[in-house]
Amino acid sequence: MTCSDRHQVLRITPKNEAEVILLKELSQLEHLEVILNHMAWTLEIELNIVHLISLMAYCSSDTWSFFAYTELCFYMNTKDYNVLCVFVLFCLQLDFWREPIDVSLPVDARVPFHSLQPVRSFLAYNEIHYDIMIADLQVDLLDAEQQEMTKSRALQPRSTDDFNYATYHTLSEINSFIDALVQENPNLVSKIVIGQSYEGRPLNVLKFSTGANRPGIWIDTGIHSREWVTQASGTWFAKKIATDYGRDAALTAILDRFDIFLEIVTNPDGFQFTHTSNRMWRKTRKPNSGSRCAGVDPNRNWDAGFGGAGSSSNPCSETYRGTYAHSEPEVKAIVDFVTSHGNLKAFVSIHSYSQMLLYPYGYTKTPCRDQAELHEVAQRAVAALTSLYGTKYAYGSIINVIYQASGGTIDWTYDQGIKYSYTFELRDTGRYGFILPANQIVPTAQETWQALMVIMDHTKNNPY
């Protein structure tokens, strides 16, 4: 027989010392060696694992000497339970993601399906309460790296200091991070829900503010859901801002004059879809009537050259513009926010990949009125970015550097009067593309931050 590769993850919160001790005993079973008893083999006894519970309940803790072989399962049967307490071998394969430490501190145990009944019976017998954290976890036991990913994903950090910025996270982890950051920095950070996605998910924006009635700077990441390094960088930026206020002179000076608004998951429906179904999904998830294809390109849906060349009228296209400008709730929410705020002075929308810093326009070759200034700021921002790790960036207007694109975000924000409107295309240039290895998240975020600081600093020093 083979050991199962499907698991449940149970969360057990011990109510008292006795439970902590029992759980510690259970956790001893995690790191074990085989002890084969000759008698057991000659007797050829077989044990049905389902009956394990009665054995565990029967044996008192000092005769309880369960050992588990981590790679093989042995079934043994006998009428003599006392013998079994000593001789039993089985494949429990528990994996404690959070060890039992103390009363009220949760314990997380990954339990293979075949061990569920004995473990749950053990807990029930001892009246230890547990919750099922993950009901069905497929784990390839040979893939250590995948296990680590799953493990670190399920461990909700106790604080944003524990959050792993060097890995990709799920939507719920990022939302938990957002709440934690607000909780830890109540005088600086608040959360604004600017609307709801098509599928009803909150559109969360972090507001960093040190005073009332300030002009604002907007940063968004993840408008295209497959561009995972952007949401990951967004979480890093959030932590960076909260950490650097009061410590870094330049950032403090900016926050003493401006509010910073940061939307990390600008397209949550799409983001969820990249986790569950299609890693390469770009658009929103709104169905298109009369078509089998869903979704609108949220970066072609803005009212700036809407419907022109550089977007598609075909719902199946990745650059489908939608039936009318601002048709997507994810876009409309930002439009409404910008309009009602009325005092944003910089707007940065972050994408990947290509390594570019771009300014308007995308929909027309006509240079924008502030082209010279935007170009000069971009030059300095890119120089600052490159100074960190040597990453090369191109810069210029969207239509010159990358392609004609109509209905784009920063064309609209610029035409609303937000002069310092920029779009980034982060790492890389095509080697990994959208699937950038996680070890590049933090370097990418760090170098991008240098460029953002140049833009924000210039915004502060050049009021308009």
Partner 1 sequence: MSEEGLVMTSRDLNPDYYEARRAGNAVQHYINTLYGSPFRLYSVTQVHKARTEAMADTGMKYFLEFSVKDWVGESSEWHGSVEVLYPRGETQAPPQVQGSWGGLPQLNISAKEQEFYQRYSAADSSVSGKDIPDSYGNIDREMKPFWHLARVAASFVMLNESNENTLYNMAQVAKITQLETQDDQLRFDYEVLLHNMVSQEIIRWKLLVSWSPAGGVKVLETELLPRCHCKSPTQ
- Give contact residues for partner 1 (rule: CB under 8 A): 145-146, 149, 167-168, 228, 273-282, 285, 292-294, 297, 316-319, 354, 392, 394-396, 400-403, 429-438, 440
d(CA 220, CA 223): 7
Q: Using the minimum distance from each CB to partner 1, give the nearer residue, 232 or 304.
A: 232
| Nearest distance in Å: CB 435, partner 1 | 5
Q: Using the minimum distance from each CB to partner 1, give the nearer residue, 160 or 299.
A: 299
| Nearest distance in Å: CB 83, partner 1 | 45
Rounded to 5°, the CA angle 358-360-363 comes to 115
Residue 425 known to be catalytic: yes
Helices (H), 283-397: 329-341, 371-389
Contact 336, 195 (CB under 8 A): yes
What strand order describes the sheet that includes 6-12?
95-98, 107-112, 6-12, 130-138
β 259-263/216-221 pair status: parallel
The residues pairing with 358 across neighbouring beta strands, listed in sequence order, are 396, 423
Rounded to 5°, the CA angle 453-454-460 comes to 85
Residue type, 457: D
Residue 136 belongs to what H/E stretch?
strand 130-138
The answer to whether the peptide bond before residue 415 is cis (omega within 30 degrees of 0) is no
Q: Using the minimum distance from each CB to partner 1, give the nearer residue, 259 or 425.
A: 425
Contact 323, 290 (CB under 8 A): no
Q: Using the minimum distance from each CB to partner 1, give the nearer residue, 78 or 152.
A: 152
The 3-class SS string of 346-371 reads EEEEEEECCCEEEECCCCCCCCCCCH
Smallest CA-to-CA distance from 359 within 422, 312, 309 is with 422
Residue 204 belongs to what H/E stretch?
strand 202-208
Q: Using the minimum distance from each CB to partner 1, give the nearer residue, 201 or 460.
A: 201
Structure tokens that stand for 19 in this block: 């439970």
| Nearest distance in Å: CB 292, partner 1 | 6
Q: Using the minimum distance from each CB to partner 1, give the nearer residue, 46 or 136.
A: 136
Q: Torsion-angle region of residue 79: left (phi > 0), alpha (psi -120 to 50) or beta?
A: alpha
Structure tokens that stand for 37 in this block: 């008893």
Residue 76 belongs to what H/E stretch?
strand 76-76
| Nearest distance in Å: CB 367, partner 1 | 14
Contact 186, 272 (CB under 8 A): no
Contact 47, 77 (CB under 8 A): yes
The residues pairing with 359 across neighbouring beta strands, listed in sequence order, are 397
| Nearest distance in Å: CB 355, partner 1 | 11
| Nearest distance in Å: CB 62, partner 1 | 46
| Nearest distance in Å: CB 328, partner 1 | 16
d(CA 265, CA 228): 10
Contact 232, 175 (CB under 8 A): no
Q: Using the minimum distance from each CB to partner 1, give the nearer residue, 54 or 167.
A: 167
| Nearest distance in Å: CB 9, partner 1 | 20
Q: Using the minimum distance from each CB to partner 1, give the nearer residue, 93 or 225.
A: 225
d(CA 412, CA 14): 55
Contact 388, 447 (CB under 8 A): yes
Task: Give the active site residue among 227, 330, 425, 447.
Answer: 425
| Nearest distance in Å: CB 400, partner 1 | 5
Structure tokens that stand for 299 in this block: 């970066």
Q: State the catalytic residues.
A: 425
